[in-house]
Amino acid sequence: MTGLSRLWALLGLACAAGLTQAGCAPLVLGGAGGAAVVATQERGFGGFVSDTEIRTRINYLWMQQSFDLANRIGLTVDQGRVLLTGHAADAQMRLDAVRLAWQAKGVKEVINEIQVDNNSSIVDSARDTWISTQIRSAITFDADIHSQNYSIDTVDGVVYLMGVAASQDELDRVVRHARSVANVQRVVSYVRLLSSLQG
């Protein structure tokens, strides 16, 4: 199997294992065009493949444990750093999600932002999705931001940013966009500067 064939096979597995998670659609749209977008990211083509493999492994472990766990918990992977968000049914599910994430080969860090379910309504979930969508749109149309290098997760109005910023100025712009969206309670950034990853 060629490298490109292997990549698309992994993409299919990742999306199939995480149908309820955001992030698959942009990767599979446009066939080879999707690969071109991935290649422009600061983490590079090889980093993307590794992160996809990690995501696939974690989703598999979660599905083996509980479909409910896989359905409730959000998963973002960037250069081996794993961000977990969403609402666990109880404290045990929260612990299981973190424990299983650490079992996946290649994981360097697990950032646990999972909340224990506080009976959030469908309206709350829709609002969080709308917040993330508005932020994504704002940074995509900002010419001074490499928007493909950022992941956005919103839980109960709290926005979690993850990825790699080309500069502090760029990161500040992203944070300002996030804070300007209605119903955002606070913005938590796990974004790293490109300069800190070099050298």
Amino acid sitting at position 62: W
At 114, is the pLDDT very low, low, confident or very high (cuts 50, 70, 90)? very high
Q: Which residue has the higher pLDDT, 77 or 29?
A: 77
Closest CA to 189 of 159, 157, 145, 144: 159
Closest CA to 111 of 59, 176, 163: 163
Q: Is 81 helix (H, G, I), strand (E, B) or coil?
A: strand
Domain coordinates in residue numbering, the chain: 3-116, 122-197
**pLDDT above 90 (res 43):** no
State which fold the 122-197 domain adopts.
Histidine-containing Protein; Chain: A; (3.30.1340)
Chain centre to alpha carbon of residue 114: 13
Residue 158's pLDDT is 92
50-105 residue pLDDT tens:
999 999 999 999 999 999 999 999 999 998 999 999 999 988 899 899 999 989 98
Provide the H-helix boundaries in 40-186: 44-65, 67-72, 91-103, 122-140, 168-179
**pLDDT above 90 (res 163):** no
CB proximity list for 29: less than 8 A, separation 6 or greater:
none
Residue 3's pLDDT is 46
pTM of the predicted model as reported, rounded to 2 decimal places: 0.62
